[in-house]
């Protein structure tokens, strides 16, 4: 396997996990900045053409994992791999952000749900959607239906 290394860090308003909106209908309209380390900035070439980016980052303040979790969006337990819980065998997180603008090594983005100082592992272009009519969202859809 490989040894994870940060390609940059997140600048965010969130200083602790309790401040990040969670649960059903949680929105993440917050803007933030992805600061890419000088050694990797050339890899951002042409990124301005993309509206949305997939950011992989490390849950660097999480330890251990649980295979069954009760997520903030439901009062029932579910399998870890159907949730976004930070406590995972490989503590890798994924956030899709909207790219607002680039300023050299800085990507100004919207949709930040990371803590300030979070290490970024990778950035990939967001290229395509799953057709809505084919998408089933399991227990989350059920939890939403119970609430409405």
Interface residues with a copy of itself (CB under 8 A)? 1-7, 40, 42-54, 56, 58, 60, 67-68, 77-84, 88-92, 94, 96, 98, 119, 121-127, 129-130, 132, 134-142
In the complex, minimum distance from the CB of residue 116 to a copy of itself, in angstroms, rounded to a whole number: 17
Work out the burial of residue 81: count CB atoms within 10 Å of its CB; fewer than 13 is exposed, 13-18 middle, 19 or more buried: exposed
Which of 18/68 has CB closer to a copy of itself?
A: 68
Which of 50/116 has CB closer to a copy of itself?
A: 50
Cα separation, 79 vs 71, in Å, equals 10
In the complex, minimum distance from the CB of residue 63 to a copy of itself, in angstroms, rounded to a whole number: 9
The closest of 53, 126, 58 to 92, measured between CA atoms, is 58
In the complex, minimum distance from the CB of residue 31 to a copy of itself, in angstroms, rounded to a whole number: 16
Tokens 């089933």, located at residue: 136
DSSP letter, residue 139: H
């Amino acid at each position: 396997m490989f040894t994870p290394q940060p390609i940059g860090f997140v600048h965010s308003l969130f200083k602790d996990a309790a401040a990040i909106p969670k649960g059903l209908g949680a929105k993440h309209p917050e803007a933030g900045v992805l600061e890419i380390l000088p050694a990797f900035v050339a890899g951002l070439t042409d990124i301005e053409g993309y509206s949305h980016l997939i950011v992989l980052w490390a849950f660097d303040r999480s330890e251990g994992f649980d295979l069954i979790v009760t997520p903030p969006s439901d009062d029932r337990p579910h399998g870890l791999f159907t949730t976004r819980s930070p406590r995972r065998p490989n503590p890798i997180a994924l956030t899709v952000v909207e790219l607002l603008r680039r300023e050299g090594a800085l990507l100004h983005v919207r949709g930040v749900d990371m803590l300030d100082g979070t290490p970024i592992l990778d950035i990939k272009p967001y290229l395509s959607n799953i057709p809505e009519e084919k998408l089933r969202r399991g227990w989350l859809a059920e939890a939403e239906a119970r609430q409405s």
